[in-house]
Amino acid sequence: MEMILCIVIIGIMGAMFFPQISNLTRKNAVARAAQIVQQDLQRAYTLAGRLRKPVTLTADNTNHAYQVTDASNNILLSRNLGVTQEYGVETMTFSPTTLTIQPNGVSSDTLGVTLVSRGSTRYVSMTRVGLIRRTQ
């Protein structure tokens, strides 16, 4: 009898804390995706400087993917953040969707990225000179 009572109490406590754990997991997934985008943007600037050639960042908001290519259209970096991937991003918005980064560290425009996963949103912004910030 005591064993059944313990199991019931553990079950009730688990049911109480499951929504909080689920919410934390959801926020962690979109935060990891934002961190990956920030690191990839920094890597794009590094690639442009190392190759001494402009690189182009192209985003496909519909498929939740982006890639960095050189002038010969060789893919240097490719990432998919879609629902079927570990990050589970439901909505990804790059604005603008195409951006050129020069070897001297200046891009053709500023960039704003919005990532949404299960109601949790993160923003990544980038200035023309490569200052990249993540915000909530």
Q: Is the pLDDT of residue 8 over 70?
A: yes
d(CA 104, CA 106): 6
**Which domains, and CATH codes, for the chain?**
2-135 (3.55.40.10)
pLDDT in tens, 64-96: 999 999 999 999 999 998 877 777 788 999 999
Q: Which residue has the higher pLDDT, 83 or 22?
A: 83
The pair phi, psi for residue 48, each rounded to 5°, is: -60, -45
Look up the pTM and report it. 0.81
Q: What's the token pair of residue 108?
A: 């053709």
The closest alpha carbon to 45, from 95, 107, 97, 108, belongs to: 107
